[in-house]
Every structure is written in C-alpha cells, then in structure tokens.
Structure 1
Amino acid sequence: MKKISFLIITILFASCAVQKVPKPEQVMKYYDGFKKSDYQEVKNVLSDSLIITEGDYVMEFTQESYYEHFKWDSIFRPVYKIVELKDQGDQVSATVSVKSSRFEFLNNNPLTCNRNFHFKNGKINKIENLDYINANWEMWQKQRDSLVNWIKLNRPELDGFINDLSEQGAKDYLEAIESYKKQKSE
C-alpha cells in the first residue's frame, strides 16, 4: 500500500511541476518549425483546431489539414524572421518578415505582416493576419495576373495552379514561375 501511495504522490507532484511553455516562446517554436521544415515542431504548439483570419476571410484547419498548408508553403522555401514579439496576456502580437521564391516573383520580398496569436488551453488556436506593412498589392496583382494569363496561353496543363493549395499545386506554381521567367529572358 505504501508503494502505491508513494507512486500516486510522485505522479501528482510531477504533474504539478510541469510548466507551460510561455506564449511568446510557442510563437517562436511555431516559426522555428517552418524554418526547419519540421511540422512536428509546429504541431506541438498548435491546438487540435486552428483558425487563420485574413480580414473577412476565415480558414479553419485541423492539425492534419494544416499539414497540407505547411507542405504547400514549404515548396516556396520561405525564410521567416520574427521582427517583434509582444506578450499581451491572452494573446501575442508578432511582426513577421518572410522571404520566399513566390514573394520574390510577386515583387514583394520580403513581405512583413502584423499578426495576433490567440491561445486555447495553452496552445495556438487562432492566427489573425492584421496588416501587411510593406505590401505593394498593385504590383502583386499585376505580376500574378501576368503569370496566370501567360500560363493559360502557353502552359495550359498548369492552369489552375493559383487556386490549388496542395503540395502539387505549389510545385505547379513554381514551375509556372520558372517557365514564365525563362520565356521573358529569351
């Protein structure tokens, strides 16, 4: 009986001693996972469900469906840099700069964004994309539309890449960029 009591007390003490990872550190781990192409590190700081908002646009993910987004994003070889983190108690605000081959083509490299990270049960459950500090949306749209129109005419097998958020869609996007750039340099 003493052994069982000791075991129960030990388990209770150990569970009380476990400390939660501070929220700003979780945001850093989230981006470290992207930097290292390590989804497990990202997954470890995410709630079972994740909501990402962009204005009125709301995207809902499970951990599994977010993995598909992670794979899509990874194809463009992004380099994330946390410019600023502020712990605001129930949320963390972050200014994040990201460079990627896609943003380079769209003439918005790096793209810097302000985001709010929200938490539920100690894990990230919502990311609000607030504003893009240095975005030139006019240039972005011009480059994107030129690429999409050129692909329709010259590489129709890649048409639709712009709306395909799968890993293959990202590969097609990169192939579209490379084909377009090659044609422009000839």
Structure 2
Amino acid sequence: MKNIFFILFFAVILTSCGNQKLSHKKTVNSYYKAFDSGEFNKIKEVIHDSITLISGDFVMPFDKKSFHEFYKWDSVFEPSYEIIELVKEDDDVIATITQKNIRNKFLKNNPLKLNVKISFVSGKITKVEELDYIDVNWNTWAQRRDSLVSFVKVNHPELDGFVNDMTMPGAMRYLKAIELYEGRE
C-alpha cells in the first residue's frame, strides 16, 4: 500500500511538472533563442496559431505556415538576436532586443536595437509590436536602401522588387543585390 502511494505521488508530481506553462518572460526567451539558433520547431511551440507582427503602419498577420515563410526570409540574412532586457507589463512583456544581420550591416545600422511589446493568448505569443528603435540612423538607412534600389533598377532589373518581397526568394534577391552593389567598384 505504501509503495502504491509513493508511485501515485511521483506520477502526479511528474505529470504536473510536464504540464506547466512557461512564464511569459521564459516564452520570450525561448522565442528569440529559437530564432537565433535557427530552430523553427521551437518557435512553433511558443507562438499561438496566429501571430501578428506590427512595425509602424505595417500590420502583418500570420498563421504558423505563413510565419514559417517569414522565418525563412529572416534566416537568409543570418540573424543574431540578443535580449537586453525583459519587463513584464500586465499580461505583456516589453523586450529590448538587438538584431544583427547582413541586411542591417549593409544599411549601416548593425546591430539594430529596439523595444518590442509581446502579447500572449493562452500562454503563447500572439503579437510582436515594435514600439521604438534606439539609436537608429534612419537617414543612413533610407539612403543606403534607396541607393541599392536605384542601382538594381538600372543594372539588374531581374532583382527588382526585392525590398518588399518577404519570401525566401525575395531575401535571396536582396542578398544578391547587396553583393552586386558592394562589388561594383
């Protein structure tokens, strides 16, 4: 009888440990760590069935399949994410992060540092909203982007449209455009 009690007790403990939800801060850590390490399956574990990314006036809703396409676009630029600070605010988390990647390097804002608000439904990430950027030189960013777009239109029209194409092929055309632009001299 004593043995059955201990077995049941440990079974209940193990089952309850397995069903624990991650705290919101741990979920955010897992999300960015998975982006950083290139493990989309781990991202799927912490995002809701739908997730919305908000960047200024751009609102981009995704399901898990379309978010995977965004992830593949992002991965082409070989990103590296670092969480600087996480602050719980009501049911949301405000994160200060840095993102280094090939695109940001070309645009002369590497690392890109920003504050994002992460919202949750049922313990899963459902929205990532960019709040503000820290020490970003938008004039340099725009000048570099516009120079690249103009260069491509004149010299490599087959790559045109890469800036707004957030698919893996679009990202690959973006990288090719950077390579050709930087190698033009």
Answer yes or no: same fold by TM over 0.5: yes
> What code does the residue aligned with 2:68 have?
Y
**Letter in structure 2 aligned against 1:43:** K
> 2:148: which partner in 1?
147
What is aligned with 1:50?
A: 51
Write the letter of the residue equivalent to 2:78. Answer: R
Alignment of 1:127-166 (within 5 A): 127-166=128-167
Is the deviation greater in 84-93 or in 37-46? Answer: 84-93
Paired AA for residue 143 in structure 2:
K
In the alignment, the residues of structure 2 paired with residue 103 and residue 88 of structure 1 have an alpha-carbon distance, to the nearest angstrom, of: 29
Q: Which residue of 2 aligns with 1:102?
A: 103
**Rounded Cα–Cα distance in structure 1 between residues aligned with 2:135 and 2:45:** 31
Identity %: 44
d(CA) in 1 for partners of 2:106 and 2:86?
Answer: 28
What runs of 5+ residues in structure 1 fail to find an aligned partner?
A: 1-9
For residue 74 of structure 1, what is the amino acid of its counterpart? S
Give secondary structure in 2 for the equivalent of 1:141. Answer: helix
- Give distance in 1, aligned partners of 2:13 and 2:86: 33
More displaced 10-residue stretch of structure 1: 10-19 or 20-29: 10-19
The one-letter amino acid of 2:66's match is S
Q: Post-superposition shift, 1:21?
A: 0.6
The residue type paired with residue 157 of structure 2 is: P
How far did 1:163 drift?
1.4
Alignment of 1:48-87 (within 5 A): 48-87=49-88
Deviation at 1:86, TM superposition (A): 1.0
Aligned CA-pair RMSD: 1.8
Which residue does 1:4 correspond to in 2?
A: none
Specify the alignment match of 2:173 in structure 1: 172
1:73 counterpart SS class: helix
Unpaired runs of at least 5, structure 2:
1-9
> Structure 2: how far apart are the matches of 1:146 and 1:38?
34
Runs of 4 or more consecutive aligned structure 1 residues displaced over 4 Å after TM superposition: 10-17
Shift of 1:16: 4.9
**2 CA distance for matches of 1:57 and 1:76?**
20
Give the deviation of 1:161 after TM superposition: 0.9
For 1:78, the aligned partner's letter is P
How many angstroms apart in 1 are the aligned matches of 2:153 and 2:38?
32
SS of aligned partner of 1:108: coil
